[in-house]
Structure 1
Amino acid sequence: MKKIPILIILLLNSPLIFSQTMLSLEEAQSIAMENNWGLKVSQKQIEAADNRIFKANAGYSPVIDWNTSYSGSFNQVNQKFFDGRSVQRFGTSITPNTNLSLAWTLYDGRRMQAVYSRLNSQGQQSRIQNQLLVQNTLSNVMQAYYDIQRLQQSKSYLEVIIGYYEERLKITEERWQIGRGSKLDFLQSKTDYSTQKANLVNTLNELKGAKIRLNGLLARDPKTEFEVNDLSGYTNSDNLEILLENARMKNQEYLLLKKSEEINLLNQKEAKSFKLPRVGLTSSFGYNFNTNNAGLITFNQSVGLNTGITATWRVFDGQLNNRNIQLAKINGEIIKVQKEEWLNNIEMDITTAYYQNQNDETLLKLELENKALAEENLEISLEKFKLGASTILELNDAQTRFNNALSRLVNAQYNVKISALELLRLSGQLAQ
């Protein structure tokens, strides 16, 4: 029966019970997609762009107006006729009118088609801009997540390092106490131990700041506590040619340039349409009524339908339209140059990032080997120091090598992930 309370105590003190929430990279990305303020605004901008895409906004539909008026007048009438008659009375006149009028553009040099296509292209442009924002958001979240992984791994390694320094401190203290070692070795060990403890404190502070930054990207309480998965390497499986081809097909910045080029061509078509005549249909159906008790006609009423065709051809506008066409062509040439520049830059950037990633992977393999060698060297040096077969300088050198190996390993793991992330971003595979 005594085993049950002991088991309960062990469970309550287990770190698994009170462990912080584990936040995976996929969960962080999902939360960012749901909560990020910039993405919410971008989604509303897409809705606004879609709301403008309808044929009436391009001028396809007729416009029908219902016009109604009511007027009246009151006056004193004093009339004398040639036959000697005279009229003197208080006169009133009432005139209610109502009509339906229609205006419909039948032909405008294909301007309506150009405008409608431009509205559709602008809606697609809004979606590309949204995808670009999604890509940048995911990239920022991933970088912040990897930074937390790096600092979390550094914390773990520092705890291992401190364990070795703590053991060294105990050995030198025991030797000094029994007179087999010098106080100088003990003081040096204590100083080195304190230095590593200070490094751990600084790393914990950096880790806290990195978590606050990630919480900010996820639009949640900055004090939210969580843990992340361990830092590990990432291998890019695509070759250079595939990455370059993906960039031409999927990179959001390039797609945005192509869509801008498409919109500019539609702007040129719209401007050229003003050189052609415009034909419209006008029609009205109305009812007019007038009553006057002091005039020659006391009652007048009419109901009628009017319709007609109008044609307008702008002969001269001071070269305004020609200048608009020229400006659109110049903008098209600018976009063409920007596309060529982008293609040149993206090829350079992807090639640089590709070889950087390969270099980072090679360095990671080397640092994994160096870490194993440095750890074995430290253990051997520590055993020799315990037996009195080596000096504290030799042990300190082994510890320094081990410290540097762990630090380089963490940075190598982090660099591999960052360079792989950059390849994903440049090739347009980050937001699909």
Structure 2
Amino acid sequence: MFLRFREAYSQQSPASLLTKQEAIAQMLENNYGVRIAENQKLIAENNKGILNSGYLPTVNGTAGANYEQTDTEVDFGGALNQDGSVRDNVNIQDAETRRYNAAINVNYTLFDGLGRLYNYKRLKELYNLSELQARQTIETNALQLMSVYLEVARIRENVQVLEQALDISLKREQRAQYQFDYGQVNKLEVLNARVDINTDSINLLNAQQQLRNAKRDLNLIMQRDIETSFAVDTTVTLLNELEIVSFIEKASENNVRLLQADRNVTVSEYDIKTARSLMLPRIGLTGSYGWNQTDNPASAFFPSTTNLSTSLQLGANLTWDIFDGGTSITNYRNAQIRFKNEELLKKQIGDEVKRDIANARGNYNNALRIYQMQEQNLITNQNNFTRTEERYKLGQVSSVEFRQAQVNLLNAQTTKNLAKYDAKLAELQLLQLTGQLLNVEL
């Protein structure tokens, strides 16, 4: 019965291996947060283009048509014709007047106090900032992905350990049953073995459910069907100490938060210059070309006429807001204050990053030492279990002592697994703070 139980719950259908790099690639392609960040970067790229710079002229065209219909009656007030007769009134019905016009107008700002130059540079910096924001989103999601990936790997190894523990308990129950059948042990030995099988089976069931849940979490981060089956790579490779030290030394050049703070300071500098440009005069050029046509109907005194005209106009203008109520001065002063705030924020972020890196370095070193100690502890427990198992087969130790050695080995194996993946996660957190998370083989 217990053998069928183990087969039913420990066997897994074959699944393709999902490597760490493949998982990150799928996350970058499908994750909603990453896609939104990339779209924000595209918006910033459009904003920094020449079409949004203010350096190009504005051109607009106008056209119009008017129609007028009038009825006219002219009374000559008793005036006489040349032959002495009274001149008749003149009635003109449905006289139509048509007017057509079209024009093209061009405006170009020749000088605006260098405002558009600084604004253009500011937009370029905002694009660079959007790239850093997208990178930060990618790093955050990559770290989250790797955290869940490592958790899946850890639970998978725990499942294997629990399967081995159940296998040992099954063999022990079988051995106890044979011994009982031949009268070498009492029924209590068999019952104790079955109790331990039940405990190991429950632990295995719980671990398998945790594994299924963790896989769904990983599929969700990659934005794919949460029931997609896959296997993970349980190999953990840690970087050497020299690489870690070199990354920490260059952290100020690569940390994404520090780089963003630098960009924000630069943007604030351009804000000051843009605000100052509003207090300078502006010189603009204008030009237009127009066409007009008027079709006039015949009147009492004149025949119908058509007037056609074209015009070309060129001009220049100077505008200077000598005093605008103090708005420009206020904006300039506020821009200076915002610049000082950005510099203070940059210093604050610098101190926070130094602290975070120091903490992450300490956490990594501590996790590494714990992992090394747990490896030694596992070797000790493996040796202890091997010797206890040999003595148990010879009848020199009780089943309780054997079970205790087995539980100690199981705990040592799962604790070592936890320490291994904790060390790798601590390393990844340190890599993110040094700006190298996306630059190394995970």
Settle same-fold status: TM greater than 0.5.
yes
Q: Distance in 2 between matches of 1:99 and 1:295?
A: 33
Aligned match of 1:226 = 230
- How do residues 103-122 of structure 1 correspond to structure 2 at under 5 angstroms? 103-122=107-126
For the residue of structure 1 that corresponds to 2:241, the secondary structure is coil
For the residue of structure 2 that corresponds to 1:302, the secondary structure is strand
| Amino acid in the other structure paired with 1:45 | Q
Q: Tell me the matched-pair count.
A: 418
Aligned match of 2:329 = 322
Aligned match of 2:255 = 251
* 1:77 correspondence with 2:79: no
For the residue of structure 1 that corresponds to 2:258, the secondary structure is helix
For the residue of structure 2 that corresponds to 1:115, the secondary structure is helix
- The offset of 1:148, in angstroms, is 1.1
- The offset of 1:203, in angstroms, is 0.6
- CA deviations 1:14-35 (Å, max 9, x no partner) are xxxx732111111212222222
- The offset of 1:284, in angstroms, is 1.2
1:415 to 417, 422, 426: 422
- Provide closer, same or farther for how the CA distance between residues 68 and 239 of structure 1 changes in structure 2, counting only shifts above 3 A: same
- Provide closer, same or farther for how the CA distance between residues 296 and 211 of structure 1 changes in structure 2, counting only shifts above 3 A: farther
| Amino acid in the other structure paired with 1:207 | L
* 1:89 correspondence with 2:92: yes
- CA deviations 1:363-390 (Å, max 9, x no partner) are 2222112112111111211221222212
Aligned match of 2:55 = 60
Structure 2's unaligned 5+ residue stretches are 1-12, 80-86
2:105 to 101, 108, 127: 101
Moved more, 214-223 or 231-240: 231-240
Q: Distance in 1 between matches of 2:120 and 2:237?
A: 50
* 1:27 correspondence with 2:8: no
* 1:191 correspondence with 2:195: yes
- CA deviations 1:239-275 (Å, max 9, x no partner) are 6653334321122222222222222222222221110
* 1:284 correspondence with 2:288: yes
* 1:264 correspondence with 2:268: yes
| Amino acid in the other structure paired with 2:379 | A
- Provide closer, same or farther for how the CA distance between residues 87 and 295 of structure 1 changes in structure 2, counting only shifts above 3 A: closer
- Provide closer, same or farther for how the CA distance between residues 181 and 412 of structure 1 changes in structure 2, counting only shifts above 3 A: same
- Provide closer, same or farther for how the CA distance between residues 376 and 312 of structure 1 changes in structure 2, counting only shifts above 3 A: same
* 1:332 correspondence with 2:327: no
Contact 1:231 1:413 in 2 (8 A): no
Q: Distance in 1 between matches of 2:300 and 2:201?
A: 109
Moved more, 364-373 or 165-174: 165-174
* 1:235 correspondence with 2:239: yes
Contact 2:105 2:287 in 1 (8 A): yes
For the residue of structure 2 that corresponds to 1:222, the secondary structure is coil
- The offset of 1:285, in angstroms, is 1.3
Q: Distance in 2 between matches of 1:241 and 1:276?
A: 52
Moved more, 383-392 or 372-381: 383-392
For the residue of structure 2 that corresponds to 1:59, the secondary structure is coil
* 1:162 correspondence with 2:166: yes
- The offset of 1:299, in angstroms, is 4.3
| Amino acid in the other structure paired with 1:144 | V
| Amino acid in the other structure paired with 2:206 | N
| Amino acid in the other structure paired with 2:428 | L
| Amino acid in the other structure paired with 2:330 | R
Q: Distance in 2 between matches of 1:168 and 1:70?
A: 103
- CA deviations 1:111-131 (Å, max 9, x no partner) are 111121122222222222221
* 1:344 correspondence with 2:339: no
Q: Distance in 2 between matches of 1:296 and 1:223?
A: 93
- The offset of 1:200, in angstroms, is 0.8
Aligned match of 1:46 = 41
- CA deviations 1:203-257 (Å, max 9, x no partner) are 1111111111111222222221111122435234346653334321122222222
Q: Distance in 2 between matches of 1:350 and 1:243?
A: 11
TM-score (norm 1): 0.89
- CA deviations 1:84-116 (Å, max 9, x no partner) are 476432333221111111111111111111121
Moved more, 239-248 or 250-259: 239-248
Moved more, 79-88 or 216-225: 79-88
Aligned match of 1:6 = none
| Amino acid in the other structure paired with 1:268 | I
Aligned match of 1:14 = none
Q: Distance in 2 between matches of 1:295 and 1:333?
A: 79
Q: Distance in 2 between matches of 1:240 and 1:413?
A: 17
TM-score (norm 2): 0.87
- Provide closer, same or farther for how the CA distance between residues 56 and 278 of structure 1 changes in structure 2, counting only shifts above 3 A: farther
- CA deviations 1:36-69 (Å, max 9, x no partner) are 2332333233222222233342221111222111
Contact 1:286 1:303 in 2 (8 A): yes
| Amino acid in the other structure paired with 2:348 | E
| Amino acid in the other structure paired with 2:391 | K
Structure 1's unaligned 5+ residue stretches are 1-17
Q: Distance in 1 between matches of 2:340 and 2:76?
A: 80
| Amino acid in the other structure paired with 1:216 | L
Q: Distance in 2 between matches of 1:296 and 1:266?
A: 68
Q: Distance in 2 between matches of 1:56 and 1:425?
A: 37
| Amino acid in the other structure paired with 1:229 | D
* 1:380 correspondence with 2:387: yes
| Amino acid in the other structure paired with 2:390 | E
- Provide closer, same or farther for how the CA distance between residues 329 and 241 of structure 1 changes in structure 2, counting only shifts above 3 A: farther
Q: Distance in 2 between matches of 1:296 and 1:215?
A: 90
- CA deviations 1:180-210 (Å, max 9, x no partner) are 3343333233222211111111111111111
